[in-house]
Every structure is written in structure tokens, then in C-alpha cells.
Amino acid sequence: MDANIDPSTYEQIEKLISSADSPVGIDAKKTHVLILHKLTQIEQRLARLEQHAATNPKAGRGSSTT
């Protein structure tokens, strides 16, 4: 897994989820909401790609003619 995040993005995420009131320094609820939201976006994108692949069987298979 490539865990390299550019410093600017890292800093934005860090500021978004940080919480001075938390013993671990992050707002767990906000963090989980962000993760679940992103997973939902990924799931929706995957569904669109799968639908596209089902209706266009040759799409995304490179230039082979098999």
C-alpha cells in the first residue's frame, strides 16, 4: 500500500480530525464519518465502473483482439 500523502493534504486532514478534547488527539466520530463517506464514494464509483464494463464488454481490456 502506498501511504505517501503529500504534506499539504496530510495537514488538511490532520486539522480536520484533530480534537484537543480527545485523549488521542482526534475526534473519533468525525474521523469515522469521513472514512465512511469516502468508502461510500468508492463504492458508488465501483458500481458505475462495473455497470460500464457490463454494458461495454470490450471497454478497459486494452488493445488485444482475443
Tell me the per-residue pLDDT of 6-42, one tens digit each, with 9 for 90 and over. 999 999 999 999 999 999 999 999 999 999 999 999 9
4 assigned to some structural domain: no
Hey, how many other C-beta atoms are within 10 angstroms of the C-beta on 27? 17
Q: What sections of 1-66 are H helices per DSSP?
A: 7-17, 28-55
As for how many domains the chain has, the answer is 1
Tell me which residue range forms the domain holding 36: 10-55
Residue 66 reports pLDDT greater than 70: no
26 assigned to some structural domain: yes
The CA distances from residue 58 to 44, 52, 62, 66, in Å, are: 22, 10, 8, 10
Report the SS3 class of residue 18. Answer: strand
pTM over 0.75: no
pLDDT at 58: 79
65 assigned to some structural domain: no
